[in-house]
Amino acid sequence: MRKSALGLLAASAALALAASTAQAADLPSRYSPAPAYNALPVFTWTGFYAGLNAGYGWNVGDSRYYDPAFGTSYGKRKGGFVGGAQAGYNYQFGMFVAGVETDLQYAAVGNKGASYGNIYYPGDSDGFFGTIRARGGVAFDRALVYGTAGFAYGDIGGNKGYDPILGHHSGDEINWGWTIGGGVEYAITNNFTAKVEGLYVDIDTKDNYALGGRANVDRDAEFGVLRAGLNYKFN
């Protein structure tokens, strides 16, 4: 009889344990489900862009009298306002960014004239220049440090000759050269970026003074440009 009582007790305990386990299985889990994260879009420099810029240009040439760009007389270098627009395309692969950019700049050099001997005869209009450049750099998330180089062109000055008897004669023309520089650009938002950029520009301007062996003599327009710009990046 004792064995029967022990067996009944064991069976009752087993039944109670099974019922408790089944009830616990129906209860909600104590652990919360894994949170679902919506990843924020990663900024990329890839895409087309366009914008405006403004800055300052100054002569860096070694002209003895007047340099065709921005003017210099007896070693005194001068400068002036430059401003314009730019457009380009970037492609980002990893941390590296490569692209192309072109710009067209108004140059308030006030120096489209000619030098005859040690006398300067000022022109009557300001000049312009533009560039077509490759860009390459390294991106640190929204910051881009880059170098740039390419072609330059423009009518920056020095294209008027002077004859003491006949006076001025016009020789306005577009000349070609090269440029190199670099800058830093930062993405303020996903669409707007701001940059600071410096360029060295060398345009192969020629003297068209017809006497004294001065015709077609190279008088390169050499100048530096420091400018700030704002771009809109198209998604």
Contact (Cβ atoms closer than 8 angstroms) between residue 93 and residue 105: no
pLDDT value of position 92: 96
Helix (H) or strand (E) holding 103: strand 96-107
pLDDT value of position 64: 47
Taking Cα atoms as reference points, which of 212, 222, 220, 143 lies closest to residue 184? 143
Q: Which residues contact 175 (CB under 8 A, 6 or more apart)?
A: 153, 154, 155, 156, 159, 203, 204, 205, 206, 221
Question: What is 47-233's CATH number, 2.40.160.20, 1.10.340.30, 3.40.50.970, 1.20.120.420?
Answer: 2.40.160.20
Helix (H) or strand (E) holding 136: strand 127-140
Q: What is the DSSP letter of 234?
A: -
For the question of whether the overall pTM of this predicted structure is more than 0.85, the answer is: no
Residues 161-170: what's their mean pLDDT?
48
Tens digit of pLDDT for each residue in 135-156?
999 999 999 999 999 999 988 7
pLDDT grade, residue 34 (50/70/90)? low
Domain spans in the chain, listed from the N-terminal domain onward: 47-233
